[in-house]
Amino acid sequence: MVWKGDNTTITANTLKQDAAADFEQNIIDTIVVAHGKEKHILHTEDFGVKLVDITSVAESPSNSWIAIRAEKTAGSNLILVNVKTGKYTILNERLEKTGKQDVETITSYNWSPKEDIIAFAYGNTEKSILAIYDTKKDRFVYLPRATNYIVA
């Protein structure tokens, strides 16, 4: 899979695992983030889960961050990558470290139009919880209501 933006290219390289279940035979081995002259390789073996597909990619308004929504064997992760430094954060894991439960999937997300702040919905198959992550302050803001749907 290859995604191209203004000055950024994302490439997901897959690895075939013959001994795995059908849905895990082709997993993403590395994600390459190229931004201008910078090139960063994310090794998914470090993630602790197997990624099977990338379903969406979005650049932040400053073009400093890339959001990558990647499907796992159960649920999905939202990976934020700083395209200048190559440092990344997996929002699911960050939420769990703060004590949040049921962070199986991040169903939707959207960058603020003016700042590197991202709003997203996380949860499981029964409910979603809304939150906001500020990349500059490295901080979450949790919205108070859990719901089983999101209205655009």
The pLDDT assigned to 15 comes to 80
Mean pLDDT of successive 10-residue segments in the chain (152 residues)?
Answer: 86 77 74 93 86 92 94 90 94 92 90 94 87 94 67 48
Distances (CA, A) of 98 to 52, 62, 137, 139: 26, 27, 15, 10
Distance CA 99, CA 18 (A): 36
* Bridge partners (DSSP) listed for residue 102: none
pTM metric for this prediction: 0.86
Euclidean distance between the first and the last CA atom of the chain, given in angstroms as a whole number: 28
